[in-house]
Amino acid sequence: MRMGTIADAANKEASGSSLANEKVTVVFVLGGPGSGKGTQCANIVQHFRYTHLSAGDLLREEIKSGSGNGTMIQTMIKDGKIVPSEVTVMLLLRAMRESGNDKFLIDGFPRNEENRVAFEAVINIEPAFVLYFDCPEDEMERRLLKRNQGREDDNIVTIRKRFKVFMESSLPVIEYYNSKGKVCKIDAGKPAEEVFEAVKAVFA
């Protein structure tokens, strides 16, 4: 990946924005597909002064916007693959700048080592902590199959691919932050209200 070029472009974008100061708080919200990241982020936003940025939502919006990358992103999502970081990091950076906020829940990112390194190279904000929603695979599968949001990747074939990508590429990122003492692990297999009680305790 052409990290120098991307970093230069992003630095140009970031300079003069609120992200250039050092008081920005980032929490990475990670967990398998269907573990409840989006659901719990919505709860957190209602109680705490955070802006919720879902990398998956930003990528889906990018497809809808008719961007030149749209077809590539759509193909990757349908196959459960991780979109090149240069795309996702630029979308996150833009959304962070446009929010006007300085506290962010970054949901579904970093999803692999490449995501993590690109964020570090371009945005360079160390997460305050990582919220990890730990949920059994059979429970995640049940939830995704009845999510009913018309997503092209909520079918059993793509779901299985996404689980594999999570185990192979995303869990190592969680392990990386765990080794730095930064992971708050939440038992996400319980009803949403109970999960939120545990989440609230982390933020309070």
Does 88 engage in binding with ligand C5P (CB under 6 A)? yes
The CB-nearest residue to ligand C5P is: 56
- Letters for 28-57 (x = contact with Mg ion by CB under 5 A, - = none) are ---------xx-------------------
Residues 6+ apart with CB under 8 A from 57: 38, 107
Q: Which of 111, 130, 163, 186 binds ligand C5P (CB under 6 A)?
A: 111
Q: What are phi and psi of 16, to 5 degrees?
A: 85, -10
HSE of 51, CA atoms in CB hemisphere, 13 A: 17
Does 116 engage in binding with ligand C5P (CB under 6 A)? no
Helix (H, G, I), strand (E, B) or coil at 19: helix
Does 28 engage in binding with ligand C5P (CB under 6 A)? no
Instruction: Tell me the C-alpha to C-alpha distance, in Å, between residue 118 and each of 28, 66, 89, 166.
Output: 14, 24, 7, 18
Interacting span for ligand ADP (CB under 6 A) from 33-41, 64-72, 124-132, 156-164: 33-41
Chain contacts with ligand ADP (rule: CB under 6 A): 31, 33-39, 143, 147, 191-192, 195
